[in-house]
C-alpha cells in the first residue's frame, strides 16, 4: 500500500462518517492536525507517513480493523444500494413515511464502504442547483437511520413533495433551517411539520 493510498484511506474514512479529518483525529484522541494535508509531506518534500499508533486509534474510533482498512482503501469492500435519480425522489411510491426506500423501480449502485447497513440508498444528482458541492452525475449515499445533527449534509423531503440536499444549520422545536449547498440559493426555513423526513448524506461519488 503506497503513501498516497494510506492518506486517501484516512480521507475516505472521515468522509464516510461525515466528518473532517480533524474531527476524526479528535475522535481518536489525537492532535486535531494529525491527519491534515500539511502533515503528509516533510519540509524537504519527502513523504511523511501516519504513525501506526495514530492509524490504529483512528480505526478503533470508527470500529474498523487493519484488514478492513486495507479492503476499504483498495475498494474491495463494496456495498450495494438502491439508486434513483434525484428528481424521481419527489414522486410518490419511492419512500415510506419514515424516509425508507420502497421497492418500486429502483436501480442499484455499488460503492466502497465499511458499513453494512442495509437501509442505505443512493440519489443521482441532476442539474447544477447543488454545485459546486455536488455536480450532475454524482451519486450521494443517504442513510435514514443515522442521527442527524447540526452541520450535517442532509436530504429532506417536504410535505409538498420537494426533495432538497442541504446542510442542517439549525433545528428547534418550532423551526428547521436548511442552508443551501449552492450559495446563490437562499436559506430555507420550515416548520418541523412541513418536513416528511430528513436523512443524512454519508458519501458522495463523482
Q: Give residue 31's pLDDT.
A: 94
CA angle 21, 168, 118 (to 5 degrees): 70
Instruction: Give the pLDDT confidence of 165-177 residue by residue, as tens digits.
Output: 889 999 999 999 9
Alpha-carbon distance values, 64 to 9, 112, 140, 173, 182 (Å): 12, 14, 22, 36, 34
CA distance 173 to 179: 18
- The structure's pTM equals 0.58
What CATH number corresponds to the domain at position 122?
A: 2.10.109.10
pLDDT of residue 124 exceeding 60: yes
Determine the Cα–Cα distance for residues 182 and 171; give it in Å rounded to an integer.
20
Measuring CA to CA, which residue among 74, 26, 25 is closest to residue 51? 25
∠132-134-187 over CA atoms, to 5°?
70
Residues 59 and 94 in one domain: no
Alpha-carbon distance of 28 to 61, in angstroms, equals 5
Instruction: Answer with the one of 43, 74, 105 that is the final residue of a domain.
Output: 74
Q: How many domains does the chain have?
A: 2
CATH assignment of the domain containing 62:
1.10.260
Q: Are residues 59 and 108 in the same domain?
A: no
Give the burial class of 137: count Cβ atoms within 10 A of its Cβ; 0-12 exposed, 13-18 middle, 19 or more buried.
Answer: exposed
Q: Which residues of 40-64 are buried (b: 16+ CB within 10 A; e: fewer)?
A: beeeeeeeeebeeebbebbbebbeb
pLDDT digits (tens, 9 = 90+) for 150-203: 988 899 999 888 888 889 999 999 999 999 888 788 899 999 999 999 998 887
**Are 112 and 28 part of one and the same domain?**
no
Task: Note the pLDDT tens digit of each residue in 3-55.
Answer: 888 898 898 888 777 788 999 999 999 999 999 988 898 888 899 999 999 99
Query: Do 67 and 96 belong to one domain?
Result: no
Pairing of strands 153-158, 195-205: antiparallel
Q: Which domain holds residue 83?
A: 78-205
Amino acid at each position: 500500500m503506497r503513501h498516497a493510498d494510506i492518506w486517501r484511506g484516512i480521507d475516505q474514512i472521515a468522509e464516510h462518517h461525515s466528518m473532517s479529518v480533524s474531527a476524526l483525529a479528535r475522535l481518536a484522541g489525537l492532535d486535531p492536525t494529525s491527519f491534515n494535508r500539511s502533515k503528509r509531506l516533510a519540509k524537504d518534500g519527502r513523504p511523511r507517513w501516519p504513525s501506526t499508533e495514530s492509524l490504529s486509534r483512528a480505526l478503533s474510533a470508527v470500529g474498523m480493523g487493519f484488514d478492513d482498512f486495507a479492503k476499504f482503501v483498495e475498494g474491495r469492500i463494496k456495498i450495494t444500494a438502491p439508486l434513483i435519480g434525484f428528481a424521481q425522489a419527489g414522486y410518490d411510491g419511492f419512500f415510506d413515511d419514515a424516509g425508507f426506500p420502497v421497492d418500486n423501480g429502483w436501480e442499484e449502485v455499488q460503492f466502497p464502504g465499511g458499513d453494512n447497513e442495509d437501509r442505505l440508498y443512493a440519489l443521482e444528482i441532476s442539474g447544477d442547483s447543488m454545485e459546486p458541492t455536488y455536480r450532475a452525475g454524482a451519486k450521494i449515499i443517504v442513510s435514514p437511520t443515522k442521527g442527524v445533527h447540526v452541520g450535517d449534509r442532509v436530504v429532506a423531503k417536504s410535505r409538498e413533495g420537494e426533495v432538497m440536499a442541504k446542510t442542517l444549520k439549525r433545528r428547534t422545536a418550532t423551526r428547521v433551517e436548511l442552508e443551501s449547498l449552492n450559495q446563490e440559493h437562499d436559506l430555507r426555513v420550515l416548520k418541523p411539520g412541513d418536513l416528511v423526513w430528513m436523512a443524512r448524506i454519508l458519501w458522495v461519488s463523482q
